[in-house]
Structure 1
Amino acid sequence: MDGVDRRTVLRTGLLAGGVGAAAVAATQLASNREATPEEVAPSPPQEPPVTLPFRGPRQSGVIDEPQPFAAFVGLDLPKHATRQTCRRLMRVWTDDIERLMAARGPLTDLEPELAAVPSRLSITVAVGAGFYAAAGLAASRPSWLAPLPAFAVDRLEPDWPQTDLLLQIRADSPVAVAHAQRRLVVGADPLAVQRWVQRGFREPLTATRPGMPFRNLLGQVDGTVQPATHGPDDALIWLGAGEAPAPTGLAGGTSLVIRRIAMNLDSWDEVDRAGRENAIGRRLASGAPLTGRAESDVPDLGATDELGFPVIDPVSHMRRAMPAAPHERILRAPYSYDDAPAPGHRSNSGLVFVSFQADPVRQFVPIQRRLADADLLNIWTTPVSSGVYAVLPGAEAGEDLAAALLG
């Protein structure tokens, strides 16, 4: 089929017969006709697309500045999947993701123009315990790759179960996110089937103002205390970066915890500003602790007011979330959601909480246990889903994702 690309063949096949075939023929003839000088318009200068790297020892989407739009897609392998199924899926996704992140459509993309503006697109692939089981690797599964302990505040819903695979898709444009999501889900079929999608957003101005604090829909500055993303805190984030060896096939990867947290904004609206700040332990305007002026100020937990009461409530969110040991730090990358409410309700809003850490049992669980036991924000927030995944290492040149794991 010299001179006829794959897209033309697909289009022709879809429209073959009758008026459709005539339209294709007419379109082909028109495209072959040389344009007259009057029809030739000068092309505006094209700026190079803003892309993030795909190839390398680590995947993008972990320590990058979080983009304002995201989709988290949970997928399951078919019932009788094998290691070969997993290899085939990773080969398909490796090629498709590399193309999408480089501003090119996948081979089967009928709308490649949508891929031409990637808007700092990052696509991060993570796997659950079911992936290990299907690949016959249960014996090498990290001990932390398992459901989190049951917390008293959890009200987990069946619509958001733990899945075998997770795609984190983030970009500065919701179009880039939606297009990449569609192409990867369709491209995976029948090797993996979508179970759920959680979409989220952050303040878009963070794309042009790096470091701008993220505020959740309670108005709270979220994620103030973070480990450094380069240097001495690498061992808190990346597997194999510290003294402990990485689990087999995961050197350069990390773990991802995702929890969907519903917020009761109606009852939150009934709380005055002083009550809100007391529940959080920080000033809403600046994010500073109630004993300080700047967001980065160290809270004075011993400070008392004129009546002798603690300035920072012992069960405020900030106080309960503070690390009790140096290793109890996680890299937070949360997103808000605001979905259509059910009939008779005014909102369906909350937080898609996402964190990265080398060991969720050692780093995340102690924090969450303190929050579950006593946190004033529990009056207005309810976790409704929970999942733990292993973020795969990056793919070096010529490799597929999960190459070191699948052999």
Structure 2
Amino acid sequence: MLNFNFYNPTRILFGKDMLNNIDQLIPADANVLITYGGESAKKYGTLEKVKTALGNRRIHYFGGIEPNPHYETLLKAVEAVRHNRIDFLLAIGGGSVIDGTKFIALAASYEGEPLDLLHYGFTPIGPDTIKTAIPLGTVLTLPATGSEMNCGGVISYGQGKYPVFSELVFPRFSVLDPNLTFTLPKIQVANGVIDAFVHTTEQYLTYPVDGRIQDRISEGILQTLIEIGENTIAEPENYDARANLVWSATLALNGLICAGVPQDWATHMIGHELTSLYGIDHGQTLAILLPSLLEIRREQKHAKLLQYAERVWNITEGSEAVRINSAIQKTREFFESLGVKTRLSDYNISKDQLLVIIKQLKAHGMTALSETQDLSLDVSRKILENAL
């Protein structure tokens, strides 16, 4: 097992009606800005429930944070924070709203140019750059990204998606009430299942370092998602299925399963370019890319793919090559069972468009991806060609 430094201060309020407890976790004299996305927060009553739970606190609102939150939109929220002297942020939504709110928390406290905060990549922004951020909490309505229990976010600017990390923006608390997710469209639930699944594989399907606890937790998350994936889409008010999805998505990216093991975020990095260029949902890009990446990188991931085949899919017969083939195929079939297509051609992307994607990867510095930093642009091209 590799060395690691694990830290996660986020309090989780999980279950029915736990929203009522936020009154105890926000200062009574706080001046609160509630951030949210579209009209669903109003339409389904979540906004009103939050307002009631906040009691007599001063409340302001900022809506319209997009999927893949736009830098320009978030700057407007930063202006509102400064103008109204906001001292607590409360995000209502999924990963995009929460990611955007983290950026707002940092940028509103930053004395420099906010755009500079987008250029740290996977390196956490340190205290030499920014020492404080506005505290925030979250009310999760879309399980997928794990942003409710980590210190990272992804912000869209121009034709790029930029990771932003800082320990200053771990949420103080997150409310995870599965009931608040019942009204989600089926495609959003499917995307969330896939996002959580791929988050897990990118910390699990690398190379062995004898991280036995991390492997077994990862395998449990993957098995749970396989067990409840179709069910939670078909039966949106099945509380137990949705509760397991919510908690799986949180555990998939709260730092626990990546502690002490290698990580490979190539699927996400290439997927970001597909979203930026063609507007394909994030979860859909992952469903396209993961099976293809596993096929192209099967030698580098040989040992863990065999483990994945046996422990996750119960594939124990046949040669090693046959078992790996079967595990990759079952992964593709699982995504498709959720109603998500898994080929670039399904989204009208042809071979002559791949060069544009490669150029974008190069422009954004994605020239040496994977857990071993040997996934070059040529390999990315092979993955994309194989995904056609």
Higher RCO, 1 or 2 (CA under 8 Å, sep at least 6)?
1
TM over 0.5, yes or no? no
Query: Into which bin does the TM-score normalised by the smaller protein fall?
Result: under 0.3
Determine which structure has the larger strand proportion and give its number. Answer: 1
TM-score normalised by structure 2 residue count: 0.23
Q: Which has a greater percent of helix?
A: 2
